[in-house]
A = this chain, B = another copy of it.
């Protein structure tokens, strides 16, 4: 029987969940895979956390060196999160010849090239399935199943917090602020929600996923990013009438023109498989030239789902003698010759607050026309009557981003009785 010794760095939500899975399933893994996986050591500054999980006192390490020099430890699991001290610890482990399994998207996104280099140099394994979309098997599916495809597009709902918030806003008609507070009290959003609601978390994951899809390094700094804080309940309601649902999307595309990577809220047609991905569920919708459309759906976060991905990597690492390394994640910056498309093409939902008088609509469409934007749908909402200003909604045919920006600026400046209230992409 092969014995595999594990050290876990960080026993927070994910580290704790991983510890539970590994200890509770020990006999199963002996039976199913013929390997005895033992948690030899943990590193956790809050010792009481470790003790509460049932870790024996003697297995709580005082520092990373203790783990690196422990000959019983084969694989180090890093679930600390953030860049430091996680980065130094992971590098120390790799340099000590330990294989590393990490769930740390920020670390792998920002310093994956350094980690890959150290892993390769030390003939150690480096696994990061848990960095993206929790327990949903997306990274290894891209690397080991879809790798014969030319991937042309990935569209993901890859942040659980924002999907939870947007779903609740859609269900209940509440404002962003109200739902955020509820989400925070339920533990679905952090006290400081910036990383989630401003799209950083999604951008880290999109960097990792699109790099694999397009087989070139796509740094997160090249990703256009726009959060959900400006999404208004009224637009969600109008969207619903038009047959759309609002989602924070991470989009990666590659065509002859180049690579296009962006994170922003968007209206999705209700018939699209991504439209019914609700609450804290995540999904990634991928299009390849051979496979066509495939979608991966499941829980994108949480102790046990993310733990599932980590344990999957641990067993994979334990049952494979040969390690492979990224062929593209070797620089901090974009792979040479990578062209980025930044003037995106998209259909747009535009909401105007306009004086309720004859001719406003025609003035608006005339400005849009000047910038080559043609209109696919119009909704004028003056059901309430009486009010001076009415909501006027236009959905455009696909057009370039730059045209929309210019048209919006022109309308705000030149049409005294009309204001652009909302600009939301439609996919």
Contact = CB atoms under 8 A, between A and B. Distances in A.
Interface string A127-149: 00100001111001100111111
Contacts of A273: 276, 297
A185 interface: no
Contact of A304 (B17, B21, B291): B291
A322 interface: yes
Interface string A5-20: 0000000000001000
A398 interface: no
Interface stretch (A41-49, A311-319, A348-356, A384-392): A311-319
A215 interface: yes
A29 B312 CA distance: 27
A298 B294 CA distance: 4
Nearest to A37: B148
Chain A residues touching B, majority SS: mixed
Contacts of A294: 135-137, 296-299
Nearest to A288: B308
Interface centre among A134, A137, A309, A320 (most CB of B within 10 A): A137
B309 A145 contact: yes
Interface of A: 17, 21, 25, 28-29, 31-34, 129, 134-137, 140-141, 144-150, 215, 273, 276, 288-299, 302, 304-305, 307-309, 311-312, 314-316, 319-322, 324, 327
Given A32-B147, A145-B309, A146-B312, 5 more contacts: A134-B291, A290-B304, A290-B311, A291-B304, A322-B322
